[in-house]
A and B are shown apart, each in its own frame.
Chain A
């Protein structure tokens, strides 16, 4: 049995990875450490909770009493756990520094004591490169994070690297572009818009809608991580991008089309502070290793829209009964004209 520790495995990407890992690797035992903040949810794991090769541990990576023994017992650590929403980091950054930077530090310290650890995968983000007006970021580009979220991720990204350079912890760093797919918390653009449209609620589009993001299907992301767990070079950084650069306004129209709704439901709102105009990743390094995205964006988006439409059980309780979610939405959007 191969012991794989997934942190943040009840979140969006983490839960998709846990599901993918259990399906793809019959010899893997997955320990899933998650604090179950607002975005980490047992519901994301509903179909794998009783899997005998999956153990869910409710705990905080910052709590070394809980997290360190799990890291010390692992063959692989895949570290997703992080506060991840830019808008929340602009409202209140403290949790981002605590979880993203200090939490990573706690795990890396434990990893130093695990001589049999094969790989520590630090999940970073394309946002660490900052806004990229033209061209595409390569792994050796300067990091210029421009909001507290991406700055906290850049801190963790380089801290992880330093534990390879200094202590020989087998760290690799992955920087993926925007993920989409099932189980994404409905504060992020795609699930927010799809679930709003289900109730004929307008969708809030920032600024002129000209911000560009590259979209990566979460399962293509999982496949890339799987490959890198096995065949990467320690100390290296790997960009993971879907190659689907789309303006937010165009994405909004694609979602409207798939949801069968008209453009009158678009509600322009004041732009996000310091809103990065464009992210763009060069994925030549990963592609040279044989990875290519498998999911066509239009098809993947169509299926994702359908998933939210068919799984109201999953998102309605969040949108309608979660007081924290409602408070966040009010603070985020209702004050914007």
Chain B
């Protein structure tokens, strides 16, 4: 049985990946940042607290685990925060990835490594983005993700470590931080239904459209890429549909058990928001056979169920 390691396993995507891997794997190593708690307690996860910004700690842990496959999910995820916390964003996304590959090189290990980049590396476009399109990130976050991709590509080209690169678009689902739009909507509606919040949603820009996908489809894509994607080249992980935020809001409002008004708050606008982000998923479909399966309506239902259970 191959030894599987998941970094950032305590986080939102990590928790869903563990649930998927648990169905077919033996125990996996779950790395979490010191001082954090797992989002879910997997039945077959051995947790190790590893500071990924400590080069020697990463090396010691890799030397021990000698993994056959690494899902590198650890990182600093929020685009909006990356202007204020640029140092943390670069350290968590670039330096940590560098230390991971550095440890593998020092031990002459060459496992498959899935690196999770982002659609934010692309230059804004109103068309469906494909992997050959221009990269020109417009946020510190996107820049850090592009640098992370380059670290992974070098590991493949210079050291023969088969790094596969996922350019993930927006993924949503239960356990995601409500600093992201979909869980924020679900949380607010659950609070409105519970009577702890006034019956209105406060929104930033609702005209933009995003390629939204259920996180459970995302982690299935990661597993498929781990099995059969080509190293060194990026793959879009996306739904291939652009959902206007207004449509998402209306879907949530239609599911609410009480009447909800929608208002706009200019303070929630980002410095330079991109009007449309849409991915072309033909490459990942062709190379791995994966395609998304969960309709947006089910994601919205599950998000509401999750936040109602917490409220």
Contacts and interface: CB of A to CB of B under 8 A. Distances in A.
Interface of A: 2, 25, 27, 226-234, 288-290
B47 A233 contact: no
B41 A231 contact: no
A289 B47 CA distance: 4
A289 B64 contact: no
Contacts of B27: 226-227, 229-231
A108 to B, nearest CB: 19
A246 to B, nearest CB: 27
Given A227-B27, A230-B27, A231-B27, A290 B49 contact: no
B47 A288 contact: yes
B263 interface: no
Given A230-B3, A233-B64, A290 B46 contact: yes
Contacts of A290: 30, 38, 41-42, 45-47
B38 to A, nearest CB: 7
Interface string B44-75: 11111100000000000100110000000000
Contacts of B44: 227
B123 to A, nearest CB: 42
26 contacts: A2-B1, A25-B1, A27-B1, A227-B46, A228-B46, A230-B3, A230-B27, A230-B28, A230-B29, A230-B46, A231-B28, A231-B45, A231-B46, A233-B48, A233-B61, A233-B64, A234-B64, A288-B47, A288-B49, A289-B47, A289-B48, A290-B30, A290-B38, A290-B41, A290-B45, A290-B46
Nearest to B26: A230
Contacts of B38: 290
Contacts of B61: 233
Interface string B83-123: 00000000000000000000000000000000000000000
A231 B29 contact: yes
B45 to A, nearest CB: 5
A290 B38 CA distance: 9
A233 to B, nearest CB: 5
B46 A232 contact: yes
Contacts of B47: 288-290
Which of B3, B28, B30, B46 is most buried by chain A, counting CB atoms within 10 A of its CB? B46
Contacts of A232: 46
A265 B48 CA distance: 49
Tell me the dominant secondary structure on chain B's binding face: mixed
A190 to B, nearest CB: 28
Nearest to A1: B1
Which of A27, A228, A234, A290 is most buried by chain B, counting CB atoms within 10 A of its CB? A290
A227 B45 CA distance: 8
Given A25-B26, A290-B30, A231 B1 contact: no
Contacts of A233: 48, 61, 64
Interface string B219-249: 0000000000000000000000000000000
A289 B1 contact: no
Which of A27, A229, A230, A289 is most buried by chain B, counting CB atoms within 10 A of its CB? A230
A299 B45 CA distance: 26
A229 B49 CA distance: 18
A288 B47 CA distance: 7
Contacts of B48: 231, 233, 289
Interface in B7-42: 26-30, 38, 41-42
A30 B27 CA distance: 18
Contacts of A227: 27, 44, 46
Contacts of B29: 230-231
B22 to A, nearest CB: 12
Interface in B254-301: none
A2 B3 CA distance: 12
B103 to A, nearest CB: 15
A174 to B, nearest CB: 14
Contacts of B3: 230
Given A27-B1, A230-B46, A290-B46, 16 more contacts: A25-B26, A226-B27, A230-B26, A230-B27, A230-B28, A231-B27, A231-B28, A231-B29, A231-B45, A231-B46, A231-B48, A288-B47, A289-B46, A289-B47, A290-B30, A290-B41
Contacts of A228: 46
Contacts of A231: 27-29, 45-46, 48, 65
A227 B47 CA distance: 10
B274 to A, nearest CB: 39
Contacts of B41: 290
A25 B65 CA distance: 20
Nearest to B63: A234
